[in-house]
Each structure stands twice: as C-alpha cells, then as structure tokens.
Structure 1
Amino acid sequence: MDEVQVTTRLQHHQLTNAQVWSADGQSLVYDLRPAQHLFTSQCVEKIHVETGKVTEIYRASKGAHVGVITAHPQINDRFVCIHGPESPDDEWHYDVHHRRGVILSSGKVETLDACDITPPFTLGALRGGSHVHMFSQEGDRISFTYNDHVMRQRAVEEDQRNVAIALPYHPVTVLNKAPREHDGSHFCVVVSQTTLAPQPGSDQISRAFEEGWIGHQGYINELGERQRWALAFIGETVSVTGHSVPEIFIVDLPDDFTAYQHAGDQPIEGTERCLPAPPAGIVQRRLTFSDGVGVALQPRHWLRSSPDGRLIAFLMADLNDIIQLWVISPNGGLPQQSTQGYHDVQSAFTWHPLGKAITFVLNNQIVIYDLTLDTIVPLTTKTSTAPCAEAVVWSPKGDKIAFMRDIGGFRQIFTVTTTELYWC
C-alpha cells in the first residue's frame, strides 16, 4: 500500500491516540505544539485528507495553550480538547492539575469541567486538571484522566492520577467563585479509587490512567445481561515484593444520572483532606493478575475495547520479554496473547470500526493484526525510522489509517489505505 503525506507545512502536527477522524471520515484533527513533549500549541486545526484544505478550529488567547483534540464520533463539527489557563502566572500555569476540557462546536467554546478549589466544594465540579478527553460512541459522555489541585497543595504525592467522566446531566455552577474557579457544561465525577499507600499484594492502586470506554453499547456480563456503561483503565498496584505493577481494572457505571449524586464512604466532591470519591455503587474490579509482569507502560498506550465490548486490548511483554498485543474479556479470565512475533509492538493502537482487526506499528511498519485470520498484514514499507508511537488511528469507514512520521525535524501526518477487505 502507498502511504500519503497529508500535512506538509514546516511545523509539528500532533495527533491524539484515538478519535482524530471527523465523523464523516474526511478530515483529521491535530494540535500544533512545537515538539511532542511541549504543550505550547496556540491552536487546533483540521485538514481535509483529500484536498489538503486546512481549517483552524480554535485559537487560544491570553497566553493559554490548547491541544490533544479529539472528534465527536457522530457529529462532524464537534470536538473536545485540553485548554490551559489564561493569563498564566507563577502560581497558576499549565500543569497536570491546572488544565480543563473545552468543547468546540460551530465556532462556540464551552468549558466542560467546572473547577472549585475552595471549600465547601461543589457537587459535579472537580478541583484540578483534566486530560485526554474521549467521547463515548454516542458522544454524550466523555472520559478523561484527572489530577487534583487541592491535594497537590498538601503534598505532590497526594495528587494521585484518577479516571473521571463528564455527564450531560446538567451544567454545574460554582457559587462565590474565587480566582481560577469556573463553571462547567457537564456534571463531572471521579470513578476510580486510589490509595496513597497500596497494601503490597492487594488490589489497591496508587494511580488510575489510560482509560477506554467498553464497547459501543457496553458489554454482556457473566449473567448474560448488558452492562451499558463501563470503563477499563490501568491501575498501578504494588507487588508482595514492593514493586509497582500496572494491571487492568474496570468500573461498571450506572445508567441513571441521579445515581451519580449518591455518595459512598467519602464525599463525591472531595474534602480538604481527601480526593473526590466515586459515587455509591461504583466498584472497581481487577481483571489481570500478571504475576509481576504488568501491563507495558512503554510504548505508551490506552486500553481500547472491541466495538462489541467482548475484548479489551492492551500491551504486555511475553515470556521472552517482547512487547505483544493481548486481549482480555471485561468479565475477567486469562488474557490471550494475540501477536506472537519476534519484534516489539512499537505504538499505541486502535480497533477497526467493526472489530475485524487492530492497527499499530511493528518492525517499523504500519500493520494490521487480523483477528479472524490470526495474522499480521503489513501496510507500509519498512523504514529505518519507525512511524511515531503516539497514534495509529483507523478511520470510521475502515478504509484508511492515520499516523505520524518525523520528516526533516517536523512531525507530519500520513495516511495509508487498507485493503477492501476492511472497508465498512
């Protein structure tokens, strides 16, 4: 297959790990940070993959930066991205606990997550920074990772990364606003549970991250019933020998919006001494017990479920210490090794829109792992330098895959066409 270079301007173009295609599959969205590790992009754009037409979606002002943009799966002109603080200063500048999500739609900008950092805290608001926002398949709910300003003021280690969601229940208004506090369009809650000092050998975790929605319509549980809403994420456990071991966890989420208002043992909105807590009835469940191997943290990847919700894909080393693609059921059980090669999987991955296959970088090539045929299908020629690891993203129609290469010191966006076997 011939790959096509989509962007050509002499600047960096950064794709997010998923949801970078417009709903109609015609355009790609990205930010313009000057380097992968620098969050200093001033705007987010989209480019039509056939015509090359570039459209600026949004430009920040007052010294703020924006990036990590994702596209609504059903609506063409609707996006969400990270927004840094306006008028940053020594006390409040861009950091993991000083950022928010914004929804961009038809030229309008709407803050997603309300922020309340002074007690009494507000139900439905958060107290810090949200990151890598992912729409559910319908696009009405959004997941993200979260860091807490209030706990970080106490001690850096008390700001444990968690997974949170934004619900279209009702907008959240923060009363008696202090500087840096703001309202939000969605009702937000933390859904993971972390512990400052996990007990060795237990299911307690110190961090929750790299989450993914389960299925387009949830999954079928062990009782044969449909669990409509669920998220999988990586949780950092501690082994009996005291080592950090990333494992896979899942939380089943209620359908009813009002259920998210009922507190469990700790307040949903948090206190001055504790993080915001999951609502009552949300219990995280451990799926993998890797005997110390752990989910691979490099290459960085996000857990991604098959569209039908039957399988969660992840990366983990095999017995020969080679990073392979694995899958596991949301109901648990033993994980199944998918790839069997002699080369490490080198990137994040995404599923075919109908669940036929998974695409990623292997042996410096964009490849497809076909689940039905149990085989690797190379799509690009092997090059001396691998495509970039952060994003290999299948289009909604299954006909193209988007990825990035470093060309002449700049990160450029490419696409490669798949075989007709994978077109939807």
Structure 2
Amino acid sequence: MMYIFPLLSILMVMFDVQEKNNMERRIDSLTRSDIGHTLHHNNVFSPDNNWIVFDGRNDDTKIGETSSIGMVNVHTGEERLLYKTANQTIYGPGVGAASFSPVEDMVVFIHGLYDADSVKPYDITRRFGLAVNMYNPMVGMPMDARDSHAPYTAGALRGGTHSHCWSGDGRLISFTYNDEFVDPDLRMVGVMVPTEEPVVISSLEENNKGKKYAAIVTDVVRDPLPGSDEISKAFDECWVSSHTNYTIAFQGNTRNEEGETITEIYLVDIDPARILQDSSAVGKEGERPRTPDGIRQRRLSRTLKGLSDLRHWLRSDGRYVYALAKDDDNRNQIVQCEVSSGRFTTVSDFDFSISSPINMSHRGDKITFVANNNIYLFDLAIKKSVMLTSNSPEDLKIVGAPVFSRKDDMIAFNQYAESNGNEYIQIKIVHLCD
C-alpha cells in the first residue's frame, strides 16, 4: 500500500501535463457560415486582438468575383459585414486580401475599379487599396490615388496596387504594383506615405482620389544584365523596421553569371520626405513611374540558387530577414539573411517540405507554416518544430498562410470544411500558451 500514493501522484502529474498540452493546442472552428472566409497573409487580427478580418473568396484566384469583406469575433464567432461592392459581376469590381492596421480600427484591402465589365474586367493593373473603419462599415476610403489621364498627378499611380501591408506604426503602407500602360507585366514594389492633404484627382473615367501619397520605390528592367544586381521583378515584400527608420525587404528576380533567373533579397530605405519632394517621379505619358530621387534599392543576399519558387512573403525581426529556399533534396527550408551583413544561413533541416507562406510571431521568436496538410510552429532559438494539428493528407485541405495574433496567443488559419454538400473555406484557431 505504501507505493500506491506515490504512483497516484505520478499519474496525476502526468495527467496534468497531458491536460496542459491539450490546452496549448486546442483548436476551434471559428466560422461556419456557407461562404468563403479567406485570410490575407498578414495583419488579419484587429489591434485589440478580438476580431479577424477576411474576404468572401472561396477560391484564392477569385478576387475579381468576390463582393464582401467581413470580420469574425475570436471569442463568440459573430460575423459582421464590413464592406460589400455595388453591382458585382464575375468581371468585377471585386475585393480581397484584407488586413488590419496595427494601431487603428482600420482595414485596407484590394478593390477593383468601379466600372469593371466584360471589356475591362478586374485585373492586376486595374485595382487600388480601399480602407474601411470597422465601426463605420460600408464607407470606403481610397488610400492610393489613381490618375489614368496625362499629365499625371504627383502622388497618384495609374496601375494596380496589391497585397497591402501596414508598417508597424501604421503610418505607411507597402504594396506591389503593375502599371496599366507601360510594361504591365513588370511587377514593382511601392509605398503610400502620409500627406497633409489628400491627393485630389480630376473626376475623369477610372480616376479616384487617395488619402495617402503613393510612389514606386524599386527599379526594374526587362532584361537584367547577367551577373549584375539589376532585377526584372520586385515582389512579396515585408517591413524590416517601421519606427523612424523605414526599410522594406523585397524579393527581386535577377540573373546570375550564367544568365539564369534567380530570386534574391533586396532592401530599400524609405524616406517619406524625399518621396514627397520629388513630384516628377510620377513620370510622363509613355513611361512608368520611377523611384524618387534619393530612394535606391540595394542587394542583400548573394546565393548560388536563390530563394524558393514557392510563393511566399519575406518576414523580418529587424535583425534578420526570413524566407524559404530549397535544400539539396528540393525541400523548402527556412533561411535567414542578416540585415547588416547579408550573411545567408539555412536555419531548418526538415525531412519534409514547407508548402505555404511563412509568418513570424510578433516577438520574433517563432515561425508558423503549413506542411503535409498540418500547421507547424518552429522555435528559432532551439531550431525545433511542433505539429499543432493532426490532419491526414486525405482530410480537407489547409490553404493559405497561418497568421499569429497580436499577442502571439493564437494562430489563425484557413481550412476547407463541408457544409450542405459543399466545401467552404473556414477560419480555425490554434490556441497557444506561453
């Protein structure tokens, strides 16, 4: 009998540990309505951590056909409509890719041109960023001005902005851009910066005013010189720093000495004052907008194979930029590039391949991603990963990028779920504990 109580104590401790582990990995199905609930790849949680914003897509490729932006309460599952397009058809206008400001109750998202039709449908060159206050739904504020009639207005663009990302202080917004009239296939990175007065545009067809001043901050050329630092595409960026000193890291397609296209990491420092001073950067008819005087990109990484061709966005903790690159077995691994030196290191050694974009915790200590239809959490300090879900390959598919909450206490992700004989993209939450 003298051994019974120690044994019971051990069993109770084991039960407590197991119970704690179950709590740490509790998964809730947050949305259930028969619509799509697609998450953007960044900033989907409200500043107070209580709401998640989503768009109504049930297919990642269908922004042009999507009419609604909504949000869901992480505690109650209540869904609210934030914005709905007027006169929506399969040709547009279309909305999608919504993200919260980190400091205001404001959401920015892609909006197609209002006059979209079968002749001029939603397109990568025909969209802009629209913002809505969560407490004033349906009232949209264009963030970037569009001026499609020369002579062009400084601070306006004439193509399409996409994948908007707030700086950490919420003052600036980065985006990717495709011009409508000159080299529409050459993607660039741009920013919107605060201005004392909105950018006012003449009320001609396909024009709109903008709350912020927009400019392109990357130089691209159609045929980069092999072995040079020239790029033919700038894309899928992130903010490296966001308070007083603004820096963007972005992916750039360049050519190695053999003339092969590889993707490297580039940096560009953003000086809002310089951007506002160079009104001629808007460009003239027949040319693309150019980078303002004093805004110049620089190459950070120099590798043999470059980054992975799996679409993903760079992430940074200020000291390092994180990305995906292929190992010798063609598996996507996490890599880091030191901002101060360009030193490039592979930090993971998984026996599987990452299959989604990555996201970094706000503390900068962990990275989340999808592999083998499951959500993983990777600890950068100890270089260990934990599988947070338990799906089989046959289970309904996880899609998109998992996203950390503002407090790093939750990870939101998208997974298809069956309802009334159909499959809908729903939002699920993994609850984490420190």
| TM-score (normalised: structure 2) | 0.87
**Residue type of the alignment partner of 2:193:** L
Q: Residue 316 and residue 55 in structure 1: after superposition, are their counterparts in 2 closer, same or farther (change >3 A)?
A: same
Identity across the alignment (%): 31
Distance in 2 between residues matched to 1:327 and 1:12, nearest whole Å: 34
Matches within 5 A, 1:169-248: 169-217=195-243, 228-248=245-265
Report how far residue 262 of structure 1 moved. 4.1
Matches within 5 A, 1:140-179: 140-151=171-182, 157=183, 159-179=185-205
Distance in 2 between residues matched to 1:330 and 1:139, nearest whole Å: 22
What RMSD over aligned residues (CA atoms) do the two structures have, in Å? Answer: 1.8
Report how far residue 175 of structure 1 moved. 4.8
| 1:417 lines up with 2:434 in the alignment | no
Distance in 2 between residues matched to 1:97 and 1:137, nearest whole Å: 27
Q: Residue 175 and residue 58 in structure 1: after superposition, are their counterparts in 2 closer, same or farther (change >3 A)?
A: closer
| 1:27 lines up with 2:51 in the alignment | yes
Distance in 2 between residues matched to 1:57 and 1:42, nearest whole Å: 11
| 1:305 lines up with 2:302 in the alignment | no
**Residue type of the alignment partner of 2:157:** L
Distance in 1 between residues matched to 2:153 and 2:290, nearest whole Å: 13
Contact 1:394–1:401 (Cα < 8 Å) also in 2: yes
Query: Which residue of 2 is the match for residue 10 of structure 1?
Result: 34
Query: Which residue of 2 is the match for residue 42 of structure 1?
Result: 67
Report how far residue 347 of structure 1 moved. 1.1
**Residue type of the alignment partner of 1:30:** F
Contact 2:396–2:417 (Cα < 8 Å) also in 1: no
Helix, strand or coil: the match of 1:215? strand
Distance in 1 between residues matched to 2:154 and 2:50, nearest whole Å: 39
Contact 1:2–1:380 (Cα < 8 Å) also in 2: no
Match 2:123 to one of 90, 95, 103: 95
Deviation per residue, 1:345-391 (Å, 9 max, x gap) = 11112111111211111333211111122211221124225853422
| 1:276 lines up with 2:285 in the alignment | no
In structure 1, runs of 5+ residues without a counterpart are: 152-156, 219-227
Match 1:70 to one of 72, 89, 99: 99
Helix, strand or coil: the match of 1:214? strand
Contact 1:365–1:386 (Cα < 8 Å) also in 2: no
**Larger Rg belongs to:** 2
Report how far residue 11 of structure 1 moved. 2.4
| TM-score (normalised: structure 1) | 0.89
| 1:251 lines up with 2:281 in the alignment | no
Query: Which residue of 2 is the match for residue 55 of structure 1?
Result: 80
**Residue type of the alignment partner of 1:388:** I
| 1:138 lines up with 2:207 in the alignment | no
Deviation per residue, 1:116-153 (Å, 9 max, x gap) = 122111111111111011111111111111111121xx
Deviation per residue, 1:53-100 (Å, 9 max, x gap) = 11111111133221111011122x211011112232344321001001
Contact 2:58–2:425 (Cα < 8 Å) also in 1: no
Contact 1:346–1:362 (Cα < 8 Å) also in 2: yes
Deviation per residue, 1:231-266 (Å, 9 max, x gap) = 011111123333221111110112xx33113449xx
Contact 1:347–1:388 (Cα < 8 Å) also in 2: no
Query: Which residue of 2 is the match for residue 359 of structure 1?
Result: 368
Report how far residue 174 of structure 1 moved. 4.5
Report how far residue 338 of structure 1 moved. 1.3
Aligned length: 397
Distance in 1 between residues matched to 2:197 and 2:263, nearest whole Å: 35
Report how far residue 210 of structure 1 moved. 0.2
**Residue type of the alignment partner of 1:116:** D
Instruction: Select between 120-129 and 363-372 the one with higher mean Cα deviation.
Output: 363-372
Report how far residue 216 of structure 1 moved. 4.5
In structure 2, runs of 5+ residues without a counterpart are: 1-24
Helix, strand or coil: the match of 2:363? coil
**Residue type of the alignment partner of 2:106:** R
Distance in 2 between residues matched to 1:410 and 1:386, nearest whole Å: 10
Instruction: Select between 15-24 and 384-393 the one with higher mean Cα deviation.
Output: 384-393
Contact 1:379–1:416 (Cα < 8 Å) also in 2: yes
Q: Residue 189 and residue 232 in structure 1: after superposition, are their counterparts in 2 closer, same or farther (change >3 A)?
A: same
Q: Residue 381 and residue 216 in structure 1: after superposition, are their counterparts in 2 closer, same or farther (change >3 A)?
A: farther
Distance in 2 between residues matched to 1:364 and 1:126, nearest whole Å: 40
Q: Residue 286 and residue 389 in structure 1: after superposition, are their counterparts in 2 closer, same or farther (change >3 A)?
A: farther
Query: Which residue of 2 is the match for residue 154 of structure 1?
Result: none
Deviation per residue, 1:25-61 (Å, 9 max, x gap) = 1111101123221112111000012211111111111
